[in-house]
Amino acid sequence: MMLTRLARKSLARVTPYTPGKPIEEVQRELGLPSAMKLASNENPLGPSPKALEAIRQALPSLHRYPDSHCFYLVRKLARHMGLVPEQFIVGNGSDEIITLAVRALIEPGDEVVIAHPTFVIYQIASQIAEAKIRTVPLRDFRYDLAGMRRAVTRRTRLVFIANPDNPTGTYVTRAEVEAFMGGLPPHVVVFFDEAYAEVADVPDYPDSRAFLGRHPVIITRTFSKAYGLAGIRVGYGMAPTDLIEAMHRVREPFNVNSLAQVAAAAALEDTEHLEATRRLLREQKRVLVQALEQIGFACIPSATNFILFRVGPKASETVQALLKRGIIVRHMQGWDLPDYVRVTIGLPQENQAFIQALNQIRREAS
Ligand SMILES: Cc1ncc(COP(=O)(O)O)c(C=O)c1O
Protein backbone atom coordinates (compact mmCIF):
# COMPACT_ATOMS: atom_id res chain seq x y z
CA MET A 1 0.00 0.00 0.00
CA MET A 2 1.10 3.61 -0.69
CA LEU A 3 2.28 5.71 2.24
CA THR A 4 0.56 9.09 2.54
CA ARG A 5 2.75 12.13 1.95
CA LEU A 6 1.33 13.49 5.20
CA ALA A 7 3.29 10.90 7.20
CA ARG A 8 6.54 11.72 8.99
CA LYS A 9 9.45 11.67 6.53
CA SER A 10 11.24 8.94 8.47
CA LEU A 11 8.38 6.49 7.83
CA ALA A 12 9.43 6.24 4.17
CA ARG A 13 12.56 4.45 5.41
CA VAL A 14 10.66 1.96 7.59
CA THR A 15 10.68 -1.62 6.30
CA PRO A 16 7.16 -2.93 7.00
CA TYR A 17 6.90 -6.22 8.92
CA THR A 18 5.63 -9.16 6.88
CA PRO A 19 3.79 -11.54 9.19
CA GLY A 20 3.36 -15.25 8.47
CA LYS A 21 -0.02 -15.95 6.88
CA PRO A 22 -2.77 -17.20 9.18
CA ILE A 23 -3.85 -20.82 8.51
CA GLU A 24 -7.38 -19.74 7.53
CA GLU A 25 -6.10 -17.39 4.83
CA VAL A 26 -3.85 -20.05 3.28
CA GLN A 27 -6.75 -22.54 3.28
CA ARG A 28 -9.05 -19.98 1.68
CA GLU A 29 -6.52 -18.93 -0.99
CA LEU A 30 -5.63 -22.47 -2.00
CA GLY A 31 -9.04 -24.06 -1.42
CA LEU A 32 -7.53 -26.59 0.97
CA PRO A 33 -9.67 -28.53 3.46
CA SER A 34 -6.93 -28.27 6.10
CA ALA A 35 -3.51 -26.79 6.61
CA MET A 36 -0.76 -26.90 9.22
CA LYS A 37 1.29 -23.95 10.29
CA LEU A 38 4.95 -24.49 11.09
CA ALA A 39 5.91 -20.90 10.41
CA SER A 40 5.65 -18.67 13.49
CA ASN A 41 7.46 -20.59 16.24
CA GLU A 42 4.33 -21.22 18.25
CA ASN A 43 3.89 -24.03 20.79
CA PRO A 44 2.38 -27.06 19.01
CA LEU A 45 0.84 -28.31 22.28
CA GLY A 46 -1.31 -25.18 22.52
CA PRO A 47 -1.98 -23.16 25.67
CA SER A 48 -1.74 -24.61 29.17
CA PRO A 49 -5.15 -25.95 30.31
CA LYS A 50 -4.65 -23.90 33.48
CA ALA A 51 -4.38 -20.73 31.39
CA LEU A 52 -7.57 -21.63 29.52
CA GLU A 53 -9.43 -22.17 32.80
CA ALA A 54 -8.19 -18.82 34.14
CA ILE A 55 -9.45 -17.13 30.96
CA ARG A 56 -12.88 -18.75 31.33
CA GLN A 57 -13.13 -17.53 34.91
CA ALA A 58 -12.15 -13.99 33.93
CA LEU A 59 -14.68 -13.66 31.09
CA PRO A 60 -17.60 -12.25 33.16
CA SER A 61 -15.41 -9.31 34.22
CA LEU A 62 -14.63 -8.15 30.69
CA HIS A 63 -16.65 -4.95 31.17
CA ARG A 64 -13.89 -3.75 33.56
CA TYR A 65 -10.64 -2.15 32.45
CA PRO A 66 -7.60 -4.31 33.11
CA ASP A 67 -5.16 -3.64 35.93
CA SER A 68 -2.85 -1.02 34.45
CA HIS A 69 0.20 -2.28 36.37
CA CYS A 70 -0.53 -6.04 36.13
CA PHE A 71 -0.25 -6.19 39.94
CA TYR A 72 -0.73 -9.95 40.45
CA LEU A 73 1.17 -11.08 37.38
CA VAL A 74 4.14 -8.87 38.23
CA ARG A 75 4.29 -10.27 41.77
CA LYS A 76 4.23 -13.81 40.43
CA LEU A 77 6.93 -12.99 37.90
CA ALA A 78 9.08 -11.38 40.58
CA ARG A 79 8.88 -14.52 42.75
CA HIS A 80 9.51 -16.73 39.73
CA MET A 81 12.57 -14.77 38.66
CA GLY A 82 13.97 -13.92 42.12
CA LEU A 83 13.68 -10.16 41.55
CA VAL A 84 11.50 -7.36 42.95
CA PRO A 85 8.20 -6.25 41.32
CA GLU A 86 9.63 -2.80 40.54
CA GLN A 87 12.06 -4.44 38.12
CA PHE A 88 9.24 -5.61 35.82
CA ILE A 89 7.13 -4.21 33.02
CA VAL A 90 4.50 -6.25 31.16
CA GLY A 91 3.70 -5.71 27.50
CA ASN A 92 1.28 -6.64 24.75
CA GLY A 93 3.78 -9.31 23.71
CA SER A 94 7.50 -8.82 24.21
CA ASP A 95 7.40 -6.96 20.89
CA GLU A 96 5.84 -4.09 22.79
CA ILE A 97 8.73 -3.97 25.27
CA ILE A 98 11.12 -3.58 22.30
CA THR A 99 9.15 -0.60 21.01
CA LEU A 100 8.79 0.88 24.51
CA ALA A 101 12.55 0.66 25.07
CA VAL A 102 13.26 2.38 21.77
CA ARG A 103 10.61 5.03 22.40
CA ALA A 104 11.96 5.68 25.90
CA LEU A 105 15.66 5.77 25.02
CA ILE A 106 16.25 6.94 21.47
CA GLU A 107 16.51 10.54 20.28
CA PRO A 108 16.76 11.02 16.50
CA GLY A 109 20.35 10.36 15.41
CA ASP A 110 21.24 8.14 18.41
CA GLU A 111 22.95 4.94 17.39
CA VAL A 112 21.58 1.43 17.77
CA VAL A 113 23.65 -1.71 17.14
CA ILE A 114 21.76 -4.57 15.49
CA ALA A 115 22.98 -7.87 14.03
CA HIS A 116 22.01 -8.90 10.51
CA PRO A 117 19.96 -10.88 9.89
CA THR A 118 18.03 -11.14 13.14
CA PHE A 119 14.57 -10.47 14.55
CA VAL A 120 13.27 -7.59 12.41
CA ILE A 121 11.35 -5.59 15.03
CA TYR A 122 14.61 -4.08 16.37
CA GLN A 123 15.22 -2.45 13.02
CA ILE A 124 11.63 -1.37 12.47
CA ALA A 125 11.32 0.23 15.93
CA SER A 126 14.69 1.95 15.49
CA GLN A 127 13.80 3.26 12.02
CA ILE A 128 10.54 4.73 13.35
CA ALA A 129 12.52 6.48 16.11
CA GLU A 130 14.98 7.87 13.51
CA ALA A 131 17.94 6.10 15.06
CA LYS A 132 21.15 5.58 13.15
CA ILE A 133 21.42 1.82 12.78
CA ARG A 134 24.84 0.15 12.85
CA THR A 135 24.47 -3.30 11.38
CA VAL A 136 26.85 -6.11 12.29
CA PRO A 137 26.68 -9.25 10.10
CA LEU A 138 26.33 -12.66 11.74
CA ARG A 139 29.38 -14.91 11.58
CA ASP A 140 28.63 -18.50 10.80
CA PHE A 141 24.96 -17.83 11.62
CA ARG A 142 25.88 -16.62 15.13
CA TYR A 143 25.92 -13.16 16.69
CA ASP A 144 29.40 -11.64 16.33
CA LEU A 145 29.53 -10.04 19.78
CA ALA A 146 33.14 -8.93 19.31
CA GLY A 147 32.10 -7.14 16.11
CA MET A 148 29.08 -5.62 17.86
CA ARG A 149 31.33 -4.40 20.67
CA ARG A 150 33.54 -2.67 18.07
CA ALA A 151 30.43 -1.01 16.57
CA VAL A 152 29.71 0.76 19.90
CA THR A 153 30.52 4.49 19.84
CA ARG A 154 29.93 7.53 22.05
CA ARG A 155 26.48 7.86 20.42
CA THR A 156 25.35 4.26 20.94
CA ARG A 157 22.30 4.10 23.14
CA LEU A 158 21.04 0.54 22.56
CA VAL A 159 22.46 -2.83 21.53
CA PHE A 160 20.02 -5.64 20.71
CA ILE A 161 21.01 -9.23 21.44
CA ALA A 162 18.47 -11.94 20.60
CA ASN A 163 19.50 -14.91 22.67
CA PRO A 164 18.64 -17.40 21.29
CA ASP A 165 18.29 -15.70 17.95
CA ASN A 166 15.50 -15.79 15.39
CA PRO A 167 15.70 -16.83 12.50
CA THR A 168 18.96 -18.74 13.03
CA GLY A 169 18.13 -20.48 16.33
CA THR A 170 21.72 -20.04 17.51
CA TYR A 171 22.71 -18.58 20.89
CA VAL A 172 25.58 -16.73 22.53
CA THR A 173 27.31 -18.31 25.50
CA ARG A 174 27.87 -17.02 29.01
CA ALA A 175 31.57 -16.44 28.26
CA GLU A 176 30.80 -14.50 25.07
CA VAL A 177 28.28 -12.29 26.85
CA GLU A 178 30.66 -11.69 29.79
CA ALA A 179 33.39 -10.64 27.35
CA PHE A 180 30.96 -8.32 25.54
CA MET A 181 29.76 -6.65 28.73
CA GLY A 182 33.24 -6.18 30.21
CA GLY A 183 34.13 -2.49 30.14
CA LEU A 184 31.02 -1.52 28.17
CA PRO A 185 30.39 2.20 28.81
CA PRO A 186 27.33 2.96 30.99
CA HIS A 187 25.57 5.05 28.30
CA VAL A 188 24.92 1.83 26.33
CA VAL A 189 21.77 -0.10 27.24
CA VAL A 190 22.01 -3.79 26.35
CA PHE A 191 18.71 -5.36 25.36
CA PHE A 192 18.67 -9.14 25.84
CA ASP A 193 15.69 -10.53 23.93
CA GLU A 194 15.14 -13.96 25.46
CA ALA A 195 11.90 -14.97 23.74
CA TYR A 196 13.14 -18.58 23.48
CA ALA A 197 14.99 -18.83 26.82
CA GLU A 198 12.59 -21.38 28.33
CA VAL A 199 13.27 -23.82 25.50
CA ALA A 200 17.00 -23.12 25.20
CA ASP A 201 18.21 -26.54 26.19
CA VAL A 202 21.93 -25.70 26.31
CA PRO A 203 24.40 -25.88 29.22
CA ASP A 204 26.23 -22.56 28.87
CA TYR A 205 23.21 -20.28 28.33
CA PRO A 206 23.88 -17.04 30.22
CA ASP A 207 21.73 -15.81 33.10
CA SER A 208 21.49 -12.19 32.04
CA ARG A 209 19.81 -11.24 35.34
CA ALA A 210 23.33 -11.26 36.78
CA PHE A 211 23.93 -7.95 34.95
CA LEU A 212 20.93 -6.19 36.49
CA GLY A 213 22.91 -4.61 39.33
CA ARG A 214 25.99 -3.97 37.22
CA HIS A 215 24.91 -2.37 33.95
CA PRO A 216 21.82 -0.85 32.30
CA VAL A 217 20.22 -3.91 30.69
CA ILE A 218 16.68 -4.78 29.62
CA ILE A 219 15.80 -8.47 29.48
CA THR A 220 12.62 -9.63 27.79
CA ARG A 221 10.73 -12.90 27.96
CA THR A 222 7.44 -13.90 26.43
CA PHE A 223 4.41 -16.11 26.96
CA SER A 224 4.09 -16.58 23.17
CA LYS A 225 6.57 -19.42 22.73
CA ALA A 226 7.16 -21.99 25.50
CA TYR A 227 3.91 -21.02 27.24
CA GLY A 228 1.74 -21.32 24.14
CA LEU A 229 -0.09 -17.98 24.46
CA ALA A 230 0.97 -16.12 21.28
CA GLY A 231 -2.60 -15.17 20.41
CA ILE A 232 -3.38 -13.36 23.65
CA ARG A 233 -0.21 -11.19 23.49
CA VAL A 234 1.74 -11.00 26.69
CA GLY A 235 5.46 -10.65 27.37
CA TYR A 236 7.56 -8.87 29.98
CA GLY A 237 10.72 -6.92 30.55
CA MET A 238 13.13 -6.95 33.50
CA ALA A 239 15.43 -3.99 34.06
CA PRO A 240 16.79 -1.63 36.72
CA THR A 241 13.93 0.40 38.20
CA ASP A 242 14.91 3.67 36.48
CA LEU A 243 14.73 2.02 33.04
CA ILE A 244 11.41 0.42 33.97
CA GLU A 245 10.09 3.85 34.94
CA ALA A 246 11.19 5.30 31.58
CA MET A 247 9.28 2.58 29.73
CA HIS A 248 6.16 3.05 31.90
CA ARG A 249 6.12 6.72 30.89
CA VAL A 250 5.80 5.90 27.18
CA ARG A 251 3.34 3.01 27.37
CA GLU A 252 -0.42 3.09 27.04
CA PRO A 253 -2.17 2.86 30.41
CA PHE A 254 -4.03 -0.39 29.61
CA ASN A 255 -1.55 -2.12 27.33
CA VAL A 256 -2.12 -5.66 28.65
CA ASN A 257 -5.68 -6.96 28.52
CA SER A 258 -7.22 -8.68 31.52
CA LEU A 259 -7.43 -12.14 29.91
CA ALA A 260 -3.73 -11.99 29.04
CA GLN A 261 -2.87 -11.11 32.64
CA VAL A 262 -4.70 -14.06 34.20
CA ALA A 263 -3.64 -16.48 31.45
CA ALA A 264 0.03 -15.60 31.90
CA ALA A 265 -0.15 -15.92 35.69
CA ALA A 266 -1.76 -19.36 35.39
CA ALA A 267 0.64 -20.52 32.66
CA LEU A 268 3.61 -19.58 34.81
CA GLU A 269 2.46 -22.08 37.43
CA ASP A 270 1.87 -24.91 34.98
CA THR A 271 5.32 -26.46 35.15
CA GLU A 272 3.91 -29.74 33.82
CA HIS A 273 2.87 -28.12 30.54
CA LEU A 274 6.24 -26.42 30.22
CA GLU A 275 8.07 -29.70 30.85
CA ALA A 276 5.88 -31.49 28.27
CA THR A 277 6.73 -28.75 25.79
CA ARG A 278 10.45 -29.07 26.45
CA ARG A 279 10.31 -32.87 26.14
CA LEU A 280 8.45 -32.69 22.85
CA LEU A 281 10.88 -30.16 21.42
CA ARG A 282 13.94 -32.11 22.50
CA GLU A 283 12.67 -35.34 20.88
CA GLN A 284 11.19 -33.80 17.77
CA LYS A 285 14.17 -31.55 17.09
CA ARG A 286 16.35 -34.66 16.94
CA VAL A 287 13.88 -36.39 14.60
CA LEU A 288 13.52 -33.38 12.30
CA VAL A 289 17.23 -32.56 12.07
CA GLN A 290 18.05 -36.17 11.28
CA ALA A 291 15.37 -36.37 8.57
CA LEU A 292 16.34 -33.01 7.01
CA GLU A 293 20.01 -33.93 6.92
CA GLN A 294 19.16 -37.29 5.40
CA ILE A 295 17.43 -35.45 2.56
CA GLY A 296 20.61 -33.40 2.18
CA PHE A 297 19.54 -30.14 3.83
CA ALA A 298 22.18 -28.79 6.23
CA CYS A 299 20.63 -27.58 9.53
CA ILE A 300 21.92 -24.70 11.63
CA PRO A 301 22.27 -25.97 15.24
CA SER A 302 19.17 -24.71 17.05
CA ALA A 303 18.65 -23.76 20.70
CA THR A 304 15.00 -22.95 19.94
CA ASN A 305 11.69 -24.48 18.82
CA PHE A 306 12.49 -23.98 15.12
CA ILE A 307 15.14 -25.06 12.65
CA LEU A 308 16.81 -23.03 9.92
CA PHE A 309 17.99 -25.27 7.09
CA ARG A 310 19.60 -24.82 3.69
CA VAL A 311 17.55 -25.95 0.72
CA GLY A 312 19.59 -24.17 -1.96
CA PRO A 313 18.42 -22.24 -5.03
CA LYS A 314 15.08 -24.10 -5.01
CA ALA A 315 14.11 -22.86 -1.54
CA SER A 316 11.30 -20.61 -2.77
CA GLU A 317 9.84 -23.32 -5.06
CA THR A 318 10.02 -25.83 -2.22
CA VAL A 319 8.15 -23.52 0.15
CA GLN A 320 5.46 -22.96 -2.50
CA ALA A 321 5.18 -26.70 -3.15
CA LEU A 322 4.76 -27.32 0.59
CA LEU A 323 2.12 -24.61 0.74
CA LYS A 324 0.11 -26.32 -2.02
CA ARG A 325 0.09 -29.39 0.22
CA GLY A 326 -1.20 -27.25 3.11
CA ILE A 327 2.11 -27.00 4.99
CA ILE A 328 3.16 -23.47 5.90
CA VAL A 329 6.86 -22.82 6.57
CA ARG A 330 8.95 -19.63 6.19
CA HIS A 331 11.18 -18.83 3.23
CA MET A 332 14.06 -16.67 4.47
CA GLN A 333 14.38 -14.43 1.40
CA GLY A 334 13.27 -11.40 3.43
CA TRP A 335 16.15 -12.02 5.86
CA ASP A 336 18.72 -12.07 3.01
CA LEU A 337 18.96 -15.86 3.27
CA PRO A 338 17.30 -16.82 -0.05
CA ASP A 339 18.58 -20.43 0.06
CA TYR A 340 17.15 -21.06 3.52
CA VAL A 341 13.87 -22.15 5.05
CA ARG A 342 12.75 -21.98 8.69
CA VAL A 343 10.43 -24.62 10.08
CA THR A 344 8.81 -24.55 13.50
CA ILE A 345 8.90 -27.85 15.36
CA GLY A 346 5.36 -29.20 15.40
CA LEU A 347 3.57 -32.24 16.80
CA PRO A 348 5.11 -35.59 15.80
CA GLN A 349 2.44 -36.19 13.13
CA GLU A 350 2.93 -32.68 11.71
CA ASN A 351 6.68 -33.14 11.50
CA GLN A 352 6.19 -36.50 9.79
CA ALA A 353 3.80 -34.97 7.25
CA PHE A 354 6.29 -32.16 6.60
CA ILE A 355 9.17 -34.59 5.99
CA GLN A 356 7.01 -36.83 3.81
CA ALA A 357 5.93 -33.86 1.72
CA LEU A 358 9.55 -32.69 1.36
CA ASN A 359 10.61 -36.14 0.16
CA GLN A 360 7.74 -36.24 -2.31
CA ILE A 361 8.59 -32.78 -3.66
CA ARG A 362 12.22 -33.81 -4.10
CA ARG A 363 11.23 -37.00 -5.94
CA GLU A 364 8.89 -35.12 -8.25
CA ALA A 365 11.57 -32.53 -9.05
CA SER A 366 14.24 -35.10 -9.98
C1 LIG B 1 13.51 -13.17 18.94
C2 LIG B 1 12.09 -12.79 19.17
N3 LIG B 1 11.82 -11.79 20.01
C4 LIG B 1 10.58 -11.39 20.26
C5 LIG B 1 9.50 -12.01 19.64
C6 LIG B 1 8.15 -11.44 19.90
O7 LIG B 1 7.35 -12.24 20.61
P8 LIG B 1 6.01 -11.71 21.28
O9 LIG B 1 5.79 -10.29 20.87
O10 LIG B 1 4.96 -12.61 20.79
O11 LIG B 1 6.26 -11.81 22.75
C12 LIG B 1 9.71 -13.05 18.74
C13 LIG B 1 8.60 -13.66 18.04
O14 LIG B 1 8.71 -14.34 17.07
C15 LIG B 1 11.05 -13.45 18.50
O16 LIG B 1 11.33 -14.42 17.64
b/e for 147-184, b at 16 or more Cβ within 10 A? ebbebbeeebbbbbbbbbbbbbbbbbbeebbeebbeeb
264 lines ligand 1 (CB under 6 A): no
What pLDDT is attached to residue 9? 87
Name the pLDDT band for 267 (thresholds 50, 70, 90): very high
262 lines ligand 1 (CB under 6 A): no
Asked if pLDDT for residue 22 goes beyond 90, the answer is: no
Residue 49 Cα to ligand 1 middle (Å): 22
Residue 363 Cα to ligand 1 middle (Å): 35
Asked if pLDDT for residue 21 goes beyond 80, the answer is: no
pTM here is 0.97
Residue 212 Cα to ligand 1 middle (Å): 22
Average pLDDT value for residue range 202-230: 96
Q: Hey, what amino acid is at 62? A: L
Average pLDDT value for residue range 188-217: 96
For each of the domains in the chain, give its residue range(s) and CATH number, in order of start.
9-46+272-365 (3.90.1150.10), 49-270 (3.40.640.10)
DSSP assignment of 3-38 equals PPTTS-GGGGG-----PPPPHHHHHHHHT-S--EE-
How many angstroms separate the CA atoms of 234 and 178, rounded?
A: 29
Asked if pLDDT for residue 20 goes beyond 80, the answer is: no
Q: How far is residue 112 from each of residues 125, 131, 136, 281, measured CA to CA in Å? A: 10, 7, 11, 34
Q: Hey, what amino acid is at 310? A: R
Name the pLDDT band for 366 (thresholds 50, 70, 90): confident
Name the pLDDT band for 233 (thresholds 50, 70, 90): very high
166 lines ligand 1 (CB under 6 A): yes
Question: How do beta strands 88-91 and 235-238 pair?
Answer: antiparallel
Q: From atom 12 of ligand 1, which residue's Cα is the shortest distance away?
A: 195
What pLDDT is attached to residue 94? 98
% residues pLDDT > 70 (the chain): 100
Question: For residue 234, which atom of ligand 1 is closest to its CA?
Answer: 11
What pLDDT is attached to residue 1? 83
Residue 114 Cα to ligand 1 middle (Å): 16
